[in-house]
Amino acid sequence: MTTVRREAFGLMPPEEGGGEVEKFVLQSDSVRVEILSFGCIITTLETKDRDGQFADVVLGFDTLEGYTRKHPFFGAVVGRVANRIAHGRFSLDGKEYQLFINNGPNSLHGGAKGFDKVLWSPQVLPNGVRFFRLSPDGEEGYPGDLKVWVTYTLSGGELAINYQAQTSKTTPISLTNHAYFNLKGQGSRDVYDHEISIEADYYLPVDDTKIPTGEVAAVQGTGFDLRQPVELGKHLHKFHLDGFDHNFCLHQDQDRRFVARVFHPPSGRTMEVHTTQPGIQFYTGNNLDGSLKGKGGATYPKHSALCLETQNWPDAVNKPHFPNVLLHPGEEYNHTTWLVFNTA
């Protein structure tokens, strides 16, 4: 049985148009998750260890103010296009589009005011909550009126996130949730003792601005081979890696499939990722620097969390040999990711 509760979380600043932000609490016997109508943000995700003790395993803030200020997309839905678009530029039907540049020379996670920084309209469901918004034609430089629905449902230890969209003009779209996980509990110093595996034979090498070079490289014999579980700290050390911020190429298949697993041996907590998406961005919180005050006064230093963002491949709009990222009028964008929490 899942219970759903809604409560007030805060008011948007007047300069942001005001408006009430609500929090939705979904609870099963093994998972408790809190989600905001602002940015569809997962603020809390509590799950049991092998002794039945709950801990909050996602990074975030105690108050709305934390989320309305600049932060690294903690728990948010990002779009229209997750990840990076080279130089914030692309061409469609002979027309050039220029997006806001907010990550070195590139556009990241939707631009200056992406889906993570706006209020969504909520609808309570028996076992979850659905959020809706209309992204108007030209918002952040993207073409077309885009209707977007993001639905969170909780069933036992499984949190499903479904993304649907329809457009009035051809537009690139790639939606994901940017939760930062630490299965020991948020506020823990690092994720070096986490074991990770990703079901991918290929990954995308990137240039020094994190844009894929266009090569689809085999993981075999490299530090990117995560097909068997590795202990993260030892693995980074062994391959002299500063961390991961790379897309792993998943089997191209519209059906649900298992793509990644994180295991924290000391607590027994596990998280499996299943998805219909063609890629997963594995990010180890390389840019966290301890400067943000998080929940309960916690600080979040480098490598204190990891992200597994299911999405299309970065810069796909400029790389014809990458999976199709364009949504046309009359079509529906429909992808789901399932996070399954358990103990081992």
CATH number (domain holding residue 72): 2.70.98.10
305 is in an annotated binding site: no
> For residue 136, is it within any domain?
yes
Domain that holds residue 161: 3-194+285-343
> For residue 170, is it within any domain?
yes
pTM: 0.97
Q: pLDDT (tens digit, 9 = 90+) per residue, 41-65?
A: 999 999 999 999 999 999 999 999 9
Among this protein's residues, is 309 annotated catalytic?
yes
User: Which H/E stretch holds residue 212?
Assistant: none
Residue 297 — φ and ψ, nearest 5°?
Answer: 80, 10
324 is in an annotated binding site: no
Among this protein's residues, is 87 annotated catalytic?
no
> For residue 62, is it within any domain?
yes
342 is in an annotated binding site: no
d(CA 26, CA 49): 19
316 is in an annotated binding site: no
> For residue 220, is it within any domain?
no
> For residue 317, is it within any domain?
yes
d(CA 198, CA 141): 34
> For residue 254, is it within any domain?
no
Q: pLDDT (tens digit, 9 = 90+) per residue, 117-131?
A: 999 999 999 999 999
> For residue 102, is it within any domain?
yes
Residue 280: beta bridge partners?
Answer: 248, 310
> For residue 212, is it within any domain?
no
**Given 109, 178, 264, 335, the catalytic residue:** 178
Q: How many CB atoms lie within 10 A of CB 271?
A: 24
Q: How many domains does the chain have?
A: 1
Length of the chain: 344
**Given 34, 140, 195, 309, the catalytic residue:** 309
Instruction: Give the per-residue pLDDT at 319.
Output: 97
Instruction: Give the per-residue pLDDT at 233.
Output: 98
